[in-house]
Amino acid sequence: MNTIFKEKNDNMHIGHNIKRIREIQGIKQEAFGQLCRNKYSQQRISDFENMVALDEPLLDELATALGVTPEFVKSFKEENVIYNIQNNSNTFNDNAIDQSHSQHTQPTFNSDGSDKLLALLEKFMEDDRAKTQSISDLSKAVLDLSNEVKKLKEGK
C-alpha cells in the first residue's frame, strides 16, 4: 500500500528560502543586491531575507536575480535539494522534472542572473586594469621625481 504524505507548508519563510538559495550559489548579499533590477544595498537584502513573506513583484525580482522561479523559492526545502543531489547526480534534465511533486522540483536557472554576474565581473576586471595602470603611472612619476631630486642634490 502506497501512502502519499502531503507536506504542510504553514511555516514557509520566503526570506529564509531566498537566503539559502543565495548561499548555495555562493553569492554575497552585496553582489546579490547588484544583480537585482533595483540594485539593492546589502542591508536591504538582509532585510528581505528576514521577512517571512514578500509581495509577488519583489519575489519575482529576487528569484530572477538568483536565476530561479518564484515557485522554486516558495517550494524550496533544503532536504529536497540534498535528495535531488543524491538521487539525480549527472541526470539533471529540464524535461524530466515532475512539477506535481514539489520535493522533486529542481531550480529553473535562467541565463539572466549569470549574464549580470559576468557583466559585473568584467566591470570589476576593467576597473582593476585601470587602477593597476594608474598605480604604474604614479610609480613611474615618483621614480622620475626621485631621480630629479638626486640630480639636484648632486648639483647637476
Which pLDDT does position 155 carry in this prediction?
82
Which pLDDT does position 76 carry in this prediction?
86
Which pLDDT does position 112 carry in this prediction?
62
**Phi, psi (degrees; rounded to nearest 5) at 3:** -115, 130
Name the residue with cell 640630480.
151
Spell out the domain ranges in the chain: 10-89+98-109, 111-156
> Class assignment of domain 10-89+98-109?
mainly alpha
Which pLDDT does position 84 carry in this prediction?
65
Which pLDDT does position 35 carry in this prediction?
95
Identify the CA nearest to 113 among candidates 69, 78, 82: 69
Interacting residues of 43 by C-beta distance below 8 A, sequence separation 6+: none
CA gap 7, 10 in Å, rounded: 9
Tell me how far CA of residue 1 lies from CA of 5, 8, 69, 100, in angstroms.
13, 22, 35, 20
pLDDT in tens, the chain (156 residues): 333 333 444 568 999 999 999 998 899 999 999 999 999 999 999 999 999 999 999 999 999 999 999 998 998 887 777 766 666 654 444 444 444 444 444 555 555 667 777 888 888 888 889 888 988 888 888 898 888 998 888 886
Residue 99 per-residue DSSP state:
T
SS3 of the chain: helix, strand, coil, percent, to 5: 65, 0, 35
